[in-house]
Amino acid sequence: MITIIFYILATITLGTGILTVLAKNPIHSAVYMVVCFFSIAGHFLMLNAQFLSVVHIIVYTGAIMILLLFTLMLMNLSDQHEPKKKVASRIAAAVSVCLTAIVILAVFLKANVVIESYKAENIDFQSVQVIGQVLLDEYMVPFEFASILLITAMIGAVLISKREKKA
């Protein structure tokens, strides 16, 4: 039963991820991304990581996607305002996607599984106390960089959506 649920969630995740990239309408793309985020939260639930699942739904599906939808709606994107992409930019995008795929594949091939050491320590790694302690002790600097990045993205979204005054 678990295997069937996994395959259903994996199909939904991959399908909506592909539809997110291939959709012509940015609003449709954002809706596909919301469905993809929910299916990823389902994967977290299958891994018995309830805290990560709830945080994923609240942060990504709730906050980030609403911010993205508001930004898209404020920018009023349409085909007539957007110029066609040049061939050079399409080639550069394809090359960057290939390089990223190579890096991700290399990371997966070089990764070492450390599940056995977690089982031996007899600590509940899903408790909020342990996650908070690790996040604010060992990963304090990346946590703060992520918060600065999110604030910068919000400021950028506001500046992009502001209309210029006509002289």
pLDDT digits (tens, 9 = 90+) for 98-112: 999 999 898 888 877
Instruction: Calculate the average pLDDT of the chain.
Output: 81
Average pLDDT over residues 33-47: 91
Rounded mean pLDDT, 53-59 = 87
Residue-by-residue DSSP string for 70-87:
HHHHHHT--TTTSPPPPH
What is the rounded average pLDDT of the residues 124-132? 73
- What's the pLDDT at 136? 83
Residue 63 confidence class, pLDDT cut points 50, 70, 90: confident
Q: What is the pTM of this model?
A: 0.56
Class of domain 1-82: mainly alpha
| Predicted pLDDT of residue 76 | 65
| Sign of the torsion formed by the C-alpha atoms of 95, 97, 103 and 109 | negative
Largest CA distance in the chain: 69
Residue spans per domain, the chain? 1-82, 122-167
